[in-house]
Chains A and B, each alone.
Chain A
Amino acid sequence: MSAQDFPRIQSAPLSLDALLSGSERDDCGALAIFAGTVRNHHEGRAVRSLTYSSYARVAEKMIREIEAEIAARFSVPVCLAVHRVGSLAIGETAILAIARGHHRAETFAAMQALVEAVKHRVPIWKEEFYADGTSAFVNGCTLVAAEDLPPAESRLHCTPVQSLAL
């Protein structure tokens, strides 16, 4: 399987070996790897588990577009990311990303941009399940086009993260 045709949204545990396989480049001296794992707390609340869901038809396309965009912007030959969906326990890997570049500076920068873009622009949602038995979706960044947003509404709402307690 080539680097381009594996699914970016996966329900099985993510494999770093699988992501790295076939990505080797003789002209690259830097390899950056990022793994985002499930944390046991959020805004002071104890978290037992997370459930990620996605709208895969858009998410698959968008992650590929982001990879190509970041690779071009930072001149790094390899930029790949995969995201897990389903119920994840504390410590499990939710996102894996790799970047291979000629030198470390652009490779680190590309990795940071790649992960930020996947977190903020791809239709993936996170529901947290708390120790007290309640759950909430983590509020994030709207994908609404700027011209369709209400006045004074900002596109980015990721800091601080707010919860929709239902």
Chain B
Amino acid sequence: MKRALLCCLSLAAIACADGGPTPPGEPAVLIVTNRSQFTLLELRLHGTASYAEAQNVLAVPLTINATVSHRGSGQYYVTTFRERYAGGPTVALTTETPVSLVDDQRYQLSVFDTSFRLEER
């Protein structure tokens, strides 16, 4: 009996002991899929509501149903640029609220004509 109690105490001591610095997790993976009816001219992720200073992460326009991935964790606004209509002006569409991306997680962001959809994978 004493031996069993001792083992339990030892296990408890181990569990309560400070393990020191833990290794950092992998940045979240954000997979952006263009499910709108338009070709996306630009894709910008930015921490504030303004997208003016943000960089376009697309090397080439993202065609319909094409996908692009991005790594990074934190809270981001996502903005896409597209034509409003064929031959029309370019319009920027920004998520109304930022998306939260957590390390080591994979996210799927679908871009529609007038909305976004974030799903955790």
Do A and B come from the same complex? no
